[in-house]
Amino acid sequence: MSIDAHTTLADLVTRMPHVAPVLERLGLDYCCCGQRPLAEAVAAAGLDLDQVLAELTDAPPTQADGAEWSTYGMVELVDHLEATHHRWLRGALVRLDELAAKVDGVHRDRHPELRQVRRLVAELRAELEPHLMKEERVLFPMIRQLATVAQAPSFHCGSLRNPIGVMQFEHEQTGELLAQVRAVTAGYTVPEDGCASYRALYDGLAELEADTHLHIHKENNRLFPQVVAVEARLAAPG
């Protein structure tokens, strides 16, 4: 696929998942702001478009390209999100919360920023665990129901646009917390006196950021538009 400066960030990552790390490194938000064209996002970030295009073009393809999730319908995508991202995220949050406490306890005297890292990790866990539960127990079952009917169901929340809006707002909050973690850790840079646990924490946080951005992208830019379109079609007269 050739890279077009007018392609949205979301479409770019959907079609070429291997460029996501490049966008991450450049600070170009493809999940919560995925509908911006590449040229617009690059200009807003104060970057050179030709240089960004060159970096994206040179990014080596991976097995992630042609990922099946880019072709999934909404039920398949819900199942994929739960089995892949939700399951992984629950374990990662517990592990990183415990690891942040351990590293902070050992290194806080020389690296006081670890107190903030520990606080932010705890906030992420407190934000994301209920978020996953709301999706799995409320929104996702309604999406599965929507896929099985010939007329728009009557949901307790009214239109599914309402819970989707709540999830998108919470995605933005998560994105802000992840940005703070990146800033506090200087881009996950381990200091020279950092031990193996210190490195494991920062590597884990970098992985958490990348996986969560892709997770949010799949929901905001793939799943939710499908749900809104299907609900509108079923509700249309005739």
- Per-residue confidence of the chain (238 residues) as pLDDT tens digits? 678 899 999 999 988 888 998 998 898 999 988 999 999 999 999 999 999 999 999 988 765 544 688 899 999 999 999 999 999 999 999 999 999 999 999 999 999 999 999 999 999 999 999 999 999 999 999 999 999 998 878 888 889 999 999 999 999 999 999 999 999 999 999 999 999 999 999 999 999 999 999 999 999 999 999 999 999 999 887 6
User: What is the model's pLDDT at position 62?
Assistant: 65
Full-model pTM = 0.89
Token pair belonging to 39: 């040229």
User: What is the model's pLDDT at position 203?
Assistant: 96
Q: How far apart are CA 13 and CA 15, in angstroms?
A: 5
Region of 151 (left: φ > 0; alpha: ψ -120 to 50; beta: rest) is beta
User: What is the model's pLDDT at position 61?
Assistant: 77
Ordered DSSP codes for 122-187: HHHHHHHHHHHHHIIIIIHHHHHHHTT-SS----TTSSTHHHHHHHHHHHHHHHHHHHHHHHHTTT
Residue for token digits 């799949």? 218
Using an 8 Å Cβ cutoff, are 225 and 36 in contact?
no
Using an 8 Å Cβ cutoff, are 41 and 19 in contact?
no
Nearest to 48 by CA among 39, 56, 57: 39
